[in-house]
Chains A and B, each alone.
Chain A
C-alpha cells in the first residue's frame, strides 16, 4: 500500500501528475492535492451530490471515482466551468432566484444542472425533469423550489440568448 503510483489526471483541461499512495478517490485528489476546493464532500459515499463533477462531459460523483481509474478521462470541476456559458447562466439564475443559502450544495448542483441544460438538444427539460435530475443533489437549506426555478430561468436565458455553448 505504501508504494506510490503515478498517474496523469486531466482536470479542467490541464494535465496534472499525481502520486497516489492509497486508493484515493478523485474527490480526495481534487480537494487535497490539486486544492480545487469548489468540489465539496458531504458524505463520501454517493448520496449527497456535493462532490458532483463532470467526467467526459457527464455528471459524476467525485467521491465514487477512483483517481487511479481516471487517467485519460476529461475531468471538469466547478472551477473549470468559470467561462462556460451554461454554467454562467446558471450562476446568474441561482443568485437572482435566491437558490443559494449556505451554498455547500450549490457547486455540485451547478455542475449537475450544467449537464442537464447542455444536453437539452430540442427536448426542453420540464419542471419535473429538473426536479428528478436534482434527486441526486441534497440541499438541506432551500427546499429546492428556488433552485428549480433558477434552472428554469437559466434555460430561458439560454434560449433567448443563444450563445456558442462550446466551453473552452
Chain B
C-alpha cells in the first residue's frame, strides 16, 4: 500500500468526548418534548402463564394516568429478525418473568409507576421450560405452540421440541479420523448468561406530528432495524417514520435488536402525545437481552507431535423466550468451532432452543465466546496430555493467509501467528510458564493463553458524502456510535480518502432522515464495512471533482489527482491546482450541480464452498473477513477462598490497520474487562424461572479495583486488502479469549480444570479441594 494519509493511524481526539466528559452530550432520557407523557411497564411475575384477564380500571382512574394499554389493544403484528415471534406487549400468554404485560402512560414517570400496582391481572400458570434439558426432552411442552405458523427468514431446520434452529458445518470424515489420532480429549463445557449492563438503560421517545409522521429517538445499535420494524409494527410507510439515535450509553449487542420502540410508538399513537419510556435498571435486567448460556460438547484429536486431526463439536444455546438474533448467534458460534487452526476433519453442529426465560440476543462476540471457551480450554487439555507447550501447539496448527476457513472461504489476511508470537514475547511467556507457582500468603500464580478469531464482514451498508459550497463535506451513514468511537474513525476514513483535514468532515448523526441504510453496529463490522462504503463514496466524489477540474484545466481526467489539503492538481505540475472550494462553487452555481458521492455494498467476500463442506441451515450466505488475536493472562489464585485475581494481561489483535490506535486500545481494554467479568463473576441466575439477581447490587460487574492496570494492548497490523486503508474490525474479539485464557492459567497455577464459567471462587475451591483429596 502506498503511503497513508496522516489522518489514518492517528489517535486523533474523539469528536464526542469533550461533550460527554462535561455532561453536555444528550442521551435519549436527557431529551424532552413539549407535552410529553411517560410510560411504565407492568411485567409478568410468571415464567409461563395464560393471561385470563387484565383490569386496569382502578389504575386508569388515578390522577395523572392517561392510558392503560395491554397486548389486546394493539394490532398483533409479530416481528423478529429470523422468526416473527415477538409482540410489543404479551398477547394471551406470558413467556418469561419480566415480560411486559401492560403499559401505563401518565403525566410523569413516578405516577405511571405508581399505577402499575393497581392493575389487576389474572393468570393461569402453565408448566415452564426452565433449562436446555427441559426444552429438548421429548415430552417437553412448547414455549411457542404457534411456532410453525410464524413468519420466518430463511431455512431454520428446527426439528426437536422447542428448537428454534439447527445448523451444521462439516468437513472431512470425523468418525473415520479418530483412528488416526494418538490422543483424544473430550469434555462438556458450560457457559452462563451474561447481562450487558450497558450503563444507560434502554430508553425511547416517540412523537407523531400533525401530518402523521412519527419520530422516534432511542438508544439502539441500528437505525435501519428500528425503522424497518416500526414500519411493520405500525403499518406505516418508511416515508412517515424518522428514527434518530442520540448519544448511546453503551450497547455491546444488547441494543442491537429492536427493543421498546414499537411499543412506545403505539403509545404515542394511542395518546396523541409524545411518550417517553426509560427502563428502570431492574426492568432492563429482566426485560431486555442477555448472552446465550450454552452447553458445548467437544472432542478433539491430535497426533503425538501435536498435529490436530479431528474435532467434533455440538453446542446447544438457550435462546430464552424469543428467537431474536439466535440463528445468527449460532451461526457465528459454529463458524468459530474449528478456530484459527488447521483441523482437517471437523463436524460442528448446534441448535438453539426456546426456554421460559429472558430472551438471549447478540452480545459482544455473538456466540463465539461460548464456543471458544470450550475449544480453547480443550486445546490446553490436549497440550497437557501431549506434553507440549500450549502456545507451541497453537503455533504449530495456526492457519495462515490464503488457507481456507471452515466452509471453504479463503482467508484474505491473517496475522494469527504474529499475534501469538507478539503476545508470547511481550509476556515473557516461557519464563512465566516455568516460574515457581507458589506466591505468598496461600496464593498461587499461573499464566494461560487462548487463541481468538472472529469476523468483521457481513450484511449491507451505505454511505453518502456531499460537498458543501466551501469544499468541506458532510458524511452520512446511519452507523451508530455506541461509544467505541465509530464516528471518529469513520470521519478519519472519509478525511483520509479525500486527503483533507478531519475538521473538514461533518458527520450526520445516526438519523434515518439524513443517512442511508446500514445493517447494524454489531459483528465488529462498522470500521470495515461502513469504512468501505465511505471509501467508495469518496471515490465517486473524487471522480466528480476531477471531472470538474478537467473541464476547468481543459485536460484529461487521467492527468489529474487529489492533492492533500483539499485540492485537485495536474500530475507532475505542483503549482497547477484548484481547490475543492473553487470546484464546489462552480458545481453549485455554474455547472453540473453539487457534488455527491455514494457508496453501497453488501458483504462481498467469497461464499461458502459446498464442495469443501456440508453446510446445513446456515443463516448467512456470505460472512467473513477474518480477524485474529491471542490472549495471555496471568492470574493469582487464593487457595483459601478460591478467588482468582488477574495480575497481567496481554491482548494481541490483528486489526489490519488501526485507523485510530487509541480507540483500538480502548476496545481491547474494555473488551478484556467484560471478558474478565464473564470469566469470573457475572452470571444471571434464576430460581424456578424467577430472576435471582436482576440488580447491580446482586449482579456484579468488575470495578476499577477488580481489574489490573496491566491490560496491555498489542496492536498487530497486517493490512486486509479489501479493508478501508487495510482496516478490519476489533469490537468483539478482545472479550472472546479472556475466559479460556484464565481457565488455562488456573490449570497452570493450581492444576485444576474448570469447564464451567464463571469461575466463581466456590467452584475453584471445590476443584482445589477435590485435587487435594486425590
Q: Do A and B come from one complex?
A: yes
Q: Which residues of A contact B (CB under 8 A)?
A: 2, 22, 24, 28, 31-32, 35, 37-45, 47-48, 50, 77-79, 81-82, 87, 90-91, 94-96, 98, 100-107, 110, 127, 130-132, 134-148
| Candidates B16, B18, B109, B704; contact of A147 at CB < 8 Å | B704
Mark the stretch among B87-95, B247-255, B403-411, B758-766 that contacts chain A. B247-255
Do A101 and B22 touch (CB < 8 A)?
no
Q: In the complex, which residues of chain B have a beta carbon less than 8 angstroms from the beta carbon of A40?
A: 27, 199-200, 249
Q: Give A133's nearest chain B residue, CB to CB.
A: B704
Q: In the complex, which residues of chain B have a beta carbon less than 8 angstroms from the beta carbon of A101?
A: 250, 483-485, 666, 670
Do A143 and B17 touch (CB < 8 A)?
no
The docked-state distance in angstroms from the alpha carbon of A83 to that of B16 is 19
**Known contacts A35-B32, A103-B249, A98 near B662 by CB under 8 Å:** yes
CB distance from B5 to the nearest CB of A (A): 21
Do A94 and B21 touch (CB < 8 A)?
yes
The docked-state distance in angstroms from the alpha carbon of A137 to that of B280 is 18
Do A91 and B22 touch (CB < 8 A)?
yes
Q: In the complex, which residues of chain A have a beta carbon less than 8 angstroms from the beta carbon of B483?
A: 101-104, 141
Q: Give B483's nearest chain A residue, CB to CB.
A: A102
**Known contacts A44-B280, A91-B18, A140-B197, A102 near B250 by CB under 8 Å:** yes
Q: In the complex, which residues of chain B have a beta carbon less than 8 angstroms from the beta carbon of A136?
A: 703
**Known contacts A132-B704, A141-B483, A98 near B11 by CB under 8 Å:** yes
The docked-state distance in angstroms from the alpha carbon of A157 to that of B139 is 68
Do B23 and A146 touch (CB < 8 A)?
no
Give the residue among B29, B196, B673, B703 with the most A Cβ atoms within 10 A.
Answer: B703
The docked-state distance in angstroms from the alpha carbon of A127 to that of B281 is 31
Q: In the complex, which residues of chain A have a beta carbon less than 8 angstroms from the beta carbon of B109?
A: 32
Known: A31-B29, A135-B704, A148-B704. 20 other contacts (CB 8 A): A38-B22, A45-B281, A45-B695, A95-B13, A100-B20, A101-B484, A101-B666, A102-B250, A104-B20, A107-B22, A127-B709, A132-B705, A134-B704, A139-B199, A140-B197, A143-B672, A145-B711, A146-B666, A147-B704, A148-B709
Do A45 and B14 touch (CB < 8 A)?
no
Q: In the complex, which residues of chain B have a beta carbon less than 8 angstroms from the beta carbon of A48?
A: 199, 696
Do B666 and A137 touch (CB < 8 A)?
no
**Known contacts A42-B281, A146-B666, A102 near B22 by CB under 8 Å:** no
**Interface membership of B106, Cβ < 8 A:** no
Do A45 and B201 touch (CB < 8 A)?
no
Q: In the complex, which residues of chain A have a beta carbon less than 8 angstroms from the beta carbon of B16?
A: 100, 103
**Known contacts A48-B199, A107-B21, A141 near B705 by CB under 8 Å:** no
Task: Find residues 696-710 in chain B having any chain A CB closer than 8 Å to their own CB.
Answer: 696-697, 701, 703-705, 707, 709
CB distance from A23 to the nearest CB of B (A): 10
**Interface membership of B674, Cβ < 8 A:** yes
| Candidates B23, B672, B673, B695; contact of A107 at CB < 8 Å | B23
Do B22 and A78 touch (CB < 8 A)?
yes
Q: In the complex, which residues of chain B have a beta carbon less than 8 angstroms from the beta carbon of A47?
A: 695-697
**Known contacts A45-B695, A94-B21, A134-B704, A140 near B666 by CB under 8 Å:** no
Q: In the complex, which residues of chain B have a beta carbon less than 8 angstroms from the beta carbon of A43?
A: 281, 695-696
Do B22 and A98 touch (CB < 8 A)?
no
Interface residues as binary, B13-38 with A (CB distance below 8 Å gives 1, 0 otherwise): 11011111111111101101000000
Q: Give B734's nearest chain A residue, CB to CB.
A: A143
Q: Give A93's nearest chain B residue, CB to CB.
A: B21
The docked-state distance in angstroms from the alpha carbon of A102 to that of B219 is 12
CB distance from A92 to the nearest CB of B (A): 8
**Interface membership of B123, Cβ < 8 A:** no
Do B22 and A144 touch (CB < 8 A)?
no
Q: In the complex, which residues of chain B have a beta carbon less than 8 angstroms from the beta carbon of A100?
A: 14, 16-17, 20-21
CB distance from A6 to the nearest CB of B (A): 18
**Known contacts A142-B670, A145-B711, A104 near B21 by CB under 8 Å:** no
**Interface membership of B663, Cβ < 8 A:** yes
**Known contacts A131-B705, A131-B709, A140-B197, A45 near B696 by CB under 8 Å:** yes
CB distance from B4 to the nearest CB of A (A): 21
Do A50 and B704 touch (CB < 8 A)?
no
The docked-state distance in angstroms from the alpha carbon of A103 to that of B23 is 8
Do A140 and B198 touch (CB < 8 A)?
yes
CB distance from A121 to the nearest CB of B (A): 23
The docked-state distance in angstroms from the alpha carbon of A142 to that of B16 is 15
Do A103 and B20 touch (CB < 8 A)?
yes
The docked-state distance in angstroms from the alpha carbon of A54 to that of B611 is 66
Do A98 and B704 touch (CB < 8 A)?
no
**Known contacts A98-B11, A145-B711, A104 near B22 by CB under 8 Å:** no
CB distance from A161 to the nearest CB of B (A): 19
Do A95 and B21 touch (CB < 8 A)?
yes
**Interface membership of B595, Cβ < 8 A:** no
| Candidates B27, B280, B669; contact of A146 at CB < 8 Å | B669
Q: Give B482's nearest chain A residue, CB to CB.
A: A102
Q: In the complex, which residues of chain B have a beta carbon less than 8 angstroms from the beta carbon of A132?
A: 704-705
Q: In the complex, which residues of chain B have a beta carbon less than 8 angstroms from the beta carbon of A81?
A: 22
Q: In the complex, which residues of chain A have a beta carbon less than 8 angstroms from the beta carbon of B24?
A: 38, 79
Q: Give A22's nearest chain B residue, CB to CB.
A: B110
| Candidates B32, B663, B696, B709; contact of A98 at CB < 8 Å | B663
Q: What would 29 A/B residue contacts be, using CB atoms closer than 8 Å?
A: A31-B29, A32-B109, A35-B32, A37-B23, A37-B26, A37-B27, A37-B30, A38-B22, A38-B24, A41-B201, A48-B199, A78-B22, A79-B23, A81-B22, A91-B18, A91-B21, A98-B663, A101-B484, A102-B20, A102-B198, A103-B20, A110-B22, A131-B705, A134-B703, A139-B199, A140-B196, A142-B669, A142-B670, A143-B673
Q: In the complex, which residues of chain A have a beta carbon less than 8 angstroms from the beta carbon of B168?
A: none
Give the residue among B63, B108, B662, B704 with the most A Cβ atoms within 10 A.
Answer: B704
Task: Find residues 653-706 in chain B having any chain A CB closer than 8 Å to their own CB.
Answer: 662-663, 665-666, 669-674, 695-697, 701, 703-705
The docked-state distance in angstroms from the alpha carbon of A139 to that of B198 is 9
Do A103 and B703 touch (CB < 8 A)?
no
Q: In the complex, which residues of chain A have a beta carbon less than 8 angstroms from the beta carbon of B669?
A: 142-146
Interface residues as binary, B339-362 with A (CB distance below 8 Å gives 1, 0 otherwise): 000000000000000000000000
The docked-state distance in angstroms from the alpha carbon of A106 to that of B252 is 18
The docked-state distance in angstroms from the alpha carbon of A144 to that of B201 is 20
Do A39 and B704 touch (CB < 8 A)?
no
Do A135 and B703 touch (CB < 8 A)?
yes
The docked-state distance in angstroms from the alpha carbon of A79 to that of B416 is 47
The docked-state distance in angstroms from the alpha carbon of A47 to that of B697 is 6
Do B281 and A44 touch (CB < 8 A)?
yes
Interface residues as binary, B479-491 with A (CB distance below 8 Å gives 1, 0 otherwise): 0001111000000
The docked-state distance in angstroms from the alpha carbon of A78 to that of B25 is 12
The docked-state distance in angstroms from the alpha carbon of A98 to that of B695 is 29
CB distance from B22 to the nearest CB of A (A): 6
Q: In the complex, which residues of chain B have a beta carbon less than 8 angstroms from the beta carbon of A95?
A: 13-14, 17-18, 21
Q: Give B281's nearest chain A residue, CB to CB.
A: A43
| Candidates B13, B20, B662, B703; contact of A106 at CB < 8 Å | B20
The docked-state distance in angstroms from the alpha carbon of A131 to that of B703 is 9
Q: In the complex, which residues of chain B have a beta carbon less than 8 angstroms from the beta carbon of A137?
A: 703-704
Give the residue among B13, B27, B249, B484 with the most A Cβ atoms within 10 A.
Answer: B249
Q: In the complex, which residues of chain B have a beta carbon less than 8 angstroms from the beta carbon of A147?
A: 704
Q: In the complex, which residues of chain B have a beta carbon less than 8 angstroms from the beta carbon of A98?
A: 11, 14, 662-663, 665-666
Task: Find residues 269-300 in chain B having any chain A CB closer than 8 Å to their own CB.
Answer: 280-281
| Candidates A35, A78, A138, A143; contact of B199 at CB < 8 Å | A138
Ranked 8 nearest A-B pairs via Cβ: A38-B23, A103-B20, A102-B483, A104-B249, A143-B673, A143-B669, A78-B23, A101-B483
The docked-state distance in angstroms from the alpha carbon of A100 to that of B16 is 9
| Candidates B27, B29, B707; contact of A144 at CB < 8 Å | B707
